Amino acid sequence: MAGTAGTPGTPRVLRAMNDRAALDLLLEHGPLSRTRIGKLTGLSKPTASQLLARLEAAGLVLASGTSEGRPGPNAQLYEVNPAAAHAAGLDVTPQRIRAAVADITGRTVGSYELPTPGRRPAQPVVQQVTDALDGAVKAAGLARDDVHRLVIGTPGAFDPGTGRLRYASHLPGWHSPTLLDELAAALPMPVEYENDVNLAAVAEQRLGAARGHDDFVLLWNQEGLGAALVLGGRLHRGFTGGAGEVGFLPVPGTPLVRQVTRANSGGYQELAGAQAVPDLAHQLGYKDIPSGPYAEVAAALLRRAAEEDTVQARLLLQTYATRLATGLASLVSVLDPELVVLSGACLAAGGEVLRGLVQAELEELAASRPRLLVGNVTEQPVLRGALESALAATRDEVFDTSR
C-alpha cells in the first residue's frame, strides 16, 4: 500500500538510499568529513550529521581522526568500519587452493594456500575447502562464523540443472553430484560458485582495465585458454554455465578435435594454449627452453621474447599473436565487444608487445575492431575477483539500513 514503510519515496527508503550513497563514497574516497559528505551527496549539514550518527550507531562507520593542514578548526573524519563484516574467496586449481579473507572495505586481512597435488585428492574436497578457508580465517585472527559470505572460483562451471561441475575434468574430486550439498552443510555462510575466468573479469571490471566498460571480453591464457563475456555490465554464463569455454573452439590450423570434453581440449587450446608456446619455440630453434609446468614455461618464453630484439623473438611473438587472433576473431565477430582484455600469466608476460601484434592481426581477421588492453590486475586475479564478488553481495546486505 502506498505510504507504508519500505515503499519507494518513503522516509525510510530515502534514508536508506542516502546511507548507502554515503557508505559508497567512504569506500571510494576513504575518510571524509561531515561537510564533504554533505557536498558529495547534496545533503544539508544537519541531514549529513544525522546520517553519520545513524551509521555510527549501527556500527557501520567510525570516527577516524580529524582533518589537518587547513585553515580553521579541524573537522572530524569518518570512515567505513572495517570490522562491520568480512567476506572470503577461494581460487581452486588442481595444484592448490588459495584462500583469502577481506574486511568490508576490501582490504585482505588473511590468506592461506593449501597444496592439492596429485591425480586423486588426498583429502575429500569438503575437507580441502574447509582447511583452506580456516587457514585464511586464522591468519585474519577471526573465526569461521565471522565470514559473511564465500565465493569459490573453479575451472569450468557448475551446471545449474544438475549441480555437477562441467568443463573441468582435470579437477579431481569436484564432480560428485552431492558436492554442493555437502559443502553447504559444512559451511556456516552463504556460498557461491563461479568460473575462474569470470572472476578474473570481475576483478578487471571493478579494479582494472575494464572499469567503466559494460561490454567486454576477457581472454585468459594460463593453465587453460578461456574467456569471460560481460554484456550489458553483467557476466554472460550461458545455459549450462559454459559460455566462454573457447578452448574447445574449432579453429583453422589444427586438426578437428572430437570428444572434446573427454580430451579436455579443443582446437583453439591446441593452437594457442600455454602448451603450444614451448613447442613453437622449439620449432623456431630456441635454445635453453626451461622445464616446468606449461604455463610457467610459456610465460617465461614470451616474457623473454618481448624483451629481446631479435628475429627469432619477433617471429615467436608474431606467430603466437596470429594464433591468438585466429580464435579471437570468431569471438569478436559474434559478440562485437567494446573491449578485449588480455589476462592470465601467458598474455601478461607478452605485455604491450604481444598486445600490439594481436591487435594488428585481429584487425586483419575480423570486421569488428575492439580495443585490446592488457589486464591491470596481475596479482592473483581469480582470487581478487572472488573477494570482490563476495564483498559486493555482503555490502548489499550489511549496508541495507531500510530493514
Q: What is the pLDDT of residues 115-135, one digit of tens each?
A: 998 767 668 999 999 999 999
Check residue 1 and give its pLDDT.
39
The Cα 371–Cα 374 span in angstroms is 10
pLDDT above 70 (res 2): no
Average pLDDT of the segment spanning 152-173: 91
pLDDT above 80 (res 69): no
Assign a CATH topology to domain 11-80: Arc Repressor Mutant, subunit A (1.10.10)
The superfamily (CATH) of domain 212-376 is ATPase, nucleotide binding domain (3.30.420.40)
pLDDT above 90 (res 391): yes
C-alpha cell at 121: 585428492
Check residue 73 and give its pLDDT.
63
Other C-beta atoms closer than 10 Å to the C-beta of 66 total 12
The residues with which 63 forms a beta bridge, in sequence order, are 78
Residue 83: band (very low, low, confident or very high) from pLDDT cuts 50, 70, 90: very high
Read off φ and ψ for residue 335, nearest 5 degrees: -95, -25
Mean pLDDT of the chain: 92
Check residue 8 and give its pLDDT.
55
Check residue 71 and give its pLDDT.
52
CB-based contact 84:104 (threshold 8 Å): yes
The Cα 241–Cα 165 span in angstroms is 9
Read off φ and ψ for residue 162, nearest 5 degrees: -110, -20
Residue 7: band (very low, low, confident or very high) from pLDDT cuts 50, 70, 90: low
Average pLDDT of the segment spanning 311-338: 96
Residue 64: band (very low, low, confident or very high) from pLDDT cuts 50, 70, 90: confident
pLDDT above 70 (res 355): yes
pLDDT above 50 (res 14): yes
Q: Give span(s): CATH 3.30.420.40, the chain.
A: 85-199+383-398, 212-376
Check residue 256 and give its pLDDT.
87
Residue 176: band (very low, low, confident or very high) from pLDDT cuts 50, 70, 90: very high
**Burial class, 295, CB count within 10 angstroms (exposed 0-12 / middle 13-18 / buried 19+):** buried
pLDDT in tens, 182-206: 999 999 999 999 999 999 999 999 9
Read off φ and ψ for residue 327, nearest 5 degrees: -75, -35
DSSP secondary structure letter of residue 100: E
CB-based contact 219:328 (threshold 8 Å): yes
Other C-beta atoms closer than 10 Å to the C-beta of 288 total 7
Q: Give span(s): CATH 1.10.10.10, the chain.
A: 11-80
Residue 223: band (very low, low, confident or very high) from pLDDT cuts 50, 70, 90: confident
Assign a CATH topology to domain 85-199+383-398: Nucleotidyltransferase; domain 5 (3.30.420)
The Cα 168–Cα 174 span in angstroms is 9
